[in-house]
């Protein structure tokens, strides 16, 4: 009994650690993570908070000449890697800004295991190219986690609790210990498990509830689709069980269930 409580405590602590999202300050001052030496850029101009591999929160830090997306001056906005934004009147994509990062020695790059979340196809398999049964099975978790995450993200304490339950269901305590409780390898493991990679964002104190919901909806829309890369038909609100009965994609003939 005590073991169980001990494990839960461990997962809660882990979620707490994971919820410290990476953020990149942008500005003219050399103490920024991304230094832009242009007189129209303020000393501390903006920052990007990384929420998932592709989603960021862009925040203006009270700059003189402003931060814009699609011509609209903003204080905060959820953006993608490919979003073009303007700092003062200078356009950058998020991707380009991240490339301007000061070359800092990354923390022990060699110790980060190259965890493939789950192999998409085993090399020896000469299986039917329309067989997407493994990938489709994983979407069950996306569909099931979506409403819970959306509901609980309004309350940080509840979210940490939900997070530790989800985490313990997908990763055993032994895997956690194997990573030394380090955040990055865990995120890589979590990237193959439904919407689990959203947990740090949803437990973070840096985002508002509305911003969290926007990111949950966005990731759900991007993931809950026909797994055939040439199709990617969005499933919307259709239940996973309903789709499972259908067995194949009517659009691309991909096999979801054998």
Residues that bind Zn ion (CB under 5 A): 226, 228, 231, 233, 249, 251-252, 254
CB of 7 to Zn ion, least distance (A): 39
Which residues does 189 contact at the CB level (< 8 Å), separation at least 6?
A: 115, 117, 170, 171, 175, 179
In this complex, which beta carbon is closest to Zn ion, that of residue 189 or of residue 226? 226
Q: Nearer to Zn ion by C-beta: 82 or 237?
A: 237
CB atoms within 10 A of CB 182: 18
**C-beta closer to Zn ion: residue 178 or 252:** 252
Q: How far is the CB of 143 from Zn ion (least distance, A)?
A: 16
DSSP 8-state symbol, 112 = S
Nearer to Zn ion, 135 or 182 (CB): 135
Tokens of 116: 């493939």
User: What is the nearest approach in angstroms of Zn ion to the Cβ of residue 251?
Assistant: 5
Query: Would you say 56 or 132 has its CB closer to Zn ion?
Result: 132
Minimal distance, residue 229 CB to Zn ion, in Å:
10
Q: Which sign, positive or negative, has the C-alpha torsion 68, 72, 76, 81?
A: negative
b vs e for 106-116, b when ≥16 Cβ sit within 10 Å of the residue's Cβ? eeeeeeeeebe
3 state DSSP class of 65: coil
Strands of the sheet containing 67-69, edge to edge, are 72-73, 67-69, 84-87, 90-93
Closest CA to 49 of 93, 79, 11: 79
In the complex, minimum distance from the CB of residue 256 to Zn ion, in angstroms, rounded to a whole number: 9
């Amino acid at each position: 009994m005590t073991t169980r409580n001990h494990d839960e405590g461990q997962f809660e602590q882990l979620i707490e650690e994971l919820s410290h999202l990476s953020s990149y300050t942008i500005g003219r001052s050399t103490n920024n993570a991304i230094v832009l030496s242009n007189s129209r850029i303020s000393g501390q101009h903006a920052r990007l908070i990384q929420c998932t591999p592709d989603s960021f929160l862009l925040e203006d830090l009270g700059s003189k000449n402003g931060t814009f997306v699609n011509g609209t001056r903003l204080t905060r906005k959820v953006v993608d890697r490919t979003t073009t934004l303007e700092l003062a009147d200078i356009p950058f994509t998020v991707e380009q800004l991240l490339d301007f990062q000061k070359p800092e020695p990354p923390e022990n790059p060699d110790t980060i295991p190259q965890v493939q979340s789950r192999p998409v196809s085993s090399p020896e398999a000469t299986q039917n190219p329309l067989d997407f049964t493994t990938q489709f099975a994983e979407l069950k978790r996306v569909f099931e986690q979506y409403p819970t995450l959306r509901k609980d993200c309004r309350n940080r304490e509840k979210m940490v609790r939900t997070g530790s339950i989800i985490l313990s269901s997908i990763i055993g305590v032994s895997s956690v210990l194997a990573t030394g409780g380090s955040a990055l390898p865990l995120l890589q493991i979590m990237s193959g498990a439904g919407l689990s990679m959203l947990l740090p964002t949803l437990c973070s104190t840096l985002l508002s509830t509305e911003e969290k919901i926007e990111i949950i909806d966005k990731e759900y829309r991007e993931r809950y689709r026909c797994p055939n890369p040439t199709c990617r038909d969005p499933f919307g609100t259709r239940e996973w069980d309903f789709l499972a009965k259908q067995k194949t994609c009517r659009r691309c003939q991909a096999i979801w269930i054998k």
